[in-house]
Amino acid sequence: MAVIFNSVDFEWSNGQAVFKGLSLSLESGRKYGLIGPNGVGKSTLARLAQGALAPVAGRIEKACLVSYFTQFETPPDMPAGEYLSGLWVDVAPADAGMVEVLQEGVDLECPCSALSGGEWTRLRLLRQLASGADFIVLDEPTNNLDRQARRGVLDFVRMTRRGLLIISHDRELLGEVDAILELSNRGLSTFGGNWAFYEQERDQERARLAGDLEEATRKRDQAARKRADKLRAQEKRMRQARISAPKTGMPKVLLGARKRRAQKTLGKIRRAADAELGEKVDRARGAFERQKIDPVIYADFPETALPASKLVFDAHELNFRYEGMSRDLWKRNVTFSMNGPARVCVSGRNGSGKTTLLNLLTGFRKLEGRISGSLKLGGVACGFIDQHSRCLDEQSTVLENVSAGSGKSVAEVRNFLAQFLFAGERALQGVSTLSGGERLRACLAKIFVADPAPQLLILDEPTNNLDIVNLEFLESALSRFEGAVIVISHDVTFLDGIGVSDELQLE
């Protein structure tokens, strides 16, 4: 065994419990997929396995070095080549092909901070390969990667002899694992197969649990009706006896004794019926508690209709050259016009300048360099969510972030946050503790709490950290959004789901 969790408890400093009695064995050389709703504790489990966090009870045993590829890491300003220097001597020969794929197209002279999200992810994966670890935890490793780099990760997962724990919502990647570990409100469940096996088993399990709850609820309601019927019948007999008593001529002593017997019988019926009903209620409660519940965002976007003739942006022979670079970013100048509530996907390989174009459109991040050609903006109110959730202040809570500049009361913001699954104490979480999916939800809440709400949404890889349930919600919500959408995504299913009708390809 590479890592063994023995009855592990973990909670945050504010007392919020994450795991209670968690037991898990991860074998060397075996590949596991770890799935579950955003915020359920997947990244926390990974950090416990690595040793970055310590349990409050129980123990974790490690028989080898465990390395952790985190969801987020701030890129340094040093050149990419310097970031990778000194690592190559530690790369195993079996990983040489993977190194070639991950490094392809990355300008080693370019500062890491100026790389695209996909290029930065590939460099971080390269560093993991050279870590010397026998067991690697990969937290969303295919995020921000173009198709070719994704194939490289898939090939690595297929070929490596290392043990892997892969936290991912990438169904293609999860198809390569040996077992699926599902974290839910009911704890940890293990499914001995890949994603396809898990889907089949999960659907059968959910159907069985739902059937158990339906049957238990039916028997509970049946017991409640039976109890009420028995009590009504006995009370009716007692009323009839009281009415007929004067006509019988029986002595008062005998009538009193008969009344006491009737009351005693009523008590026995009530106790027996209560016991039967209590048993059925307990079974129904147990069946409900065994349900695995997927938290789903239930917020709806406000009205944001955009006239069809309204200019969003118009680019003519546009290009950009970063300061210190010897050539323009794009091989071909960009000429593209967008009007009204259109849906446009910006596509291109990692490093092709997709995020740079979004920053030019929004001015969200100041770029050091020179623009050539022309870019005309229509002045449409815009909400921009980049790959790193930079609209959030890492040092503040979710509530503080969303309240800032909203003009709404704390109570109003709390009610709004609940629709994005930040109810109660969850609204007081620090942004620095949030998972990727929670960050996206917090960004969406911050954008749409504004008055007026944006008529243009610009999303840079929005599906990277969402669980499948909330990914489907986002698709549904964006399909109802009446404004314009500009999106960068490599998820074809998602793009089809939100009705993307045009593509701006960068080279």
Amino acid at 135: F
pLDDT surpasses 90 at 467: no
Render pLDDT for 432-464 as a digit per residue (tens, 0 to 9): 888 777 888 888 888 888 877 889 999 888 887
Non-local CB neighbours of 1 within 8 Å, separated by 6+ positions: 25, 26, 27, 28, 61, 63
CA-CA distance, 177 to 235, in Å (whole number)?
64
Q: Give residue 165's pLDDT.
A: 95
Q: How confident is the model at residue 265 (pLDDT cuts 50, 70, 90)?
A: low
Pick the range with the lowest mean pLDDT from 167-171, 329-333, 392-396, 485-489: 167-171
Banded model confidence at residue 21, pLDDT cuts 50, 70, 90? very high
The whole-number pLDDT of residue 364 equals 67
Is it the case that residue 316 has pLDDT exceeding 90? yes
Question: Once rounded to an integer, what is the mean pLDDT over residues 78-93?
Answer: 75
Distances (CA, A) of 353 to 68, 117, 310, 465, 473: 28, 10, 26, 22, 29
Instruction: Report the interhelical angle of 96-103 vs 147-159 (nearest 10°).
Output: 170
**What value does the mean pLDDT of the chain take?**
81
Q: With cut-offs at 50, 70 and 90, classify the pLDDT of residue 361.
A: confident
Q: Give pLDDT, residue 366.
A: 78
Query: What tens digit of pLDDT does each residue of 272-310 get?
Result: 666 665 665 566 556 555 545 555 566 666 677 888 999
Q: Are strands 57-62 and 179-184 parallel, antiparallel or unpaired?
A: unpaired
Q: For residue 340, what pLDDT is reported?
A: 92
Which pTM value belongs to this model?
0.60
Supply the pLDDT for residue 345.
92
The residues that bridge with 399 in the sheet, in sequence order, are none
pLDDT at 87: 64
pLDDT classification of 484: cutoffs 50, 70, 90: very high
pLDDT at residue 179 greater than cutoff 90:
yes
Each residue's pLDDT tens digit, 196-239: 888 887 777 767 767 767 767 777 777 777 777 777 777 777 77
pLDDT attached to residue 30: 93
pLDDT at 86: 63
Does residue 340 or residue 145 have the better pLDDT? 340
Tell me, what's the pLDDT at 426? 87
Residue 164 above 70 pLDDT? yes
> Could you tell me which residue, 240 or 438, shows the higher pLDDT?
438
Question: Has residue 181 got a pLDDT over 70?
Answer: yes
Predicted local confidence at residue 56, as pLDDT? 92
Taking the CA of residue 393 as centre, how many other CA atoms within 13 Å lie in the half-sphere pointing to its CB?
11
Given this model, what pLDDT does residue 163 score? 92
Average pLDDT over residues 351-372: 84
Give the dihedral of Cα atoms 409, 414, 415, 421; nearest 10 deg: 160
Q: Kindly indicate the confidence band of residue 91, based on its pLDDT and cuts at 50, 70 and 90.
A: low
Most confident range (mean pLDDT) of 110-119, 142-151, 374-383 is 374-383
Instruction: Answer yes or no: is pLDDT of 132 > 60.
Output: yes
Buried b (16+ CB within 10 A) or exposed e, 343-374: bbbbbbbbbbbbbbbbbbbbebeeeeeeeeee
For the cut 70, the answer to whether the pLDDT of residue 134 exceeds it is: yes
Task: State residue 335's pLDDT score.
Answer: 92
Structure tokens at 127: 């560093």
Residue 135: its pLDDT value, please? 92
Is the predicted pLDDT of residue 406 greater than 60, yes or no?
yes
In angstroms, the CA 135 to CA 155 distance is 17
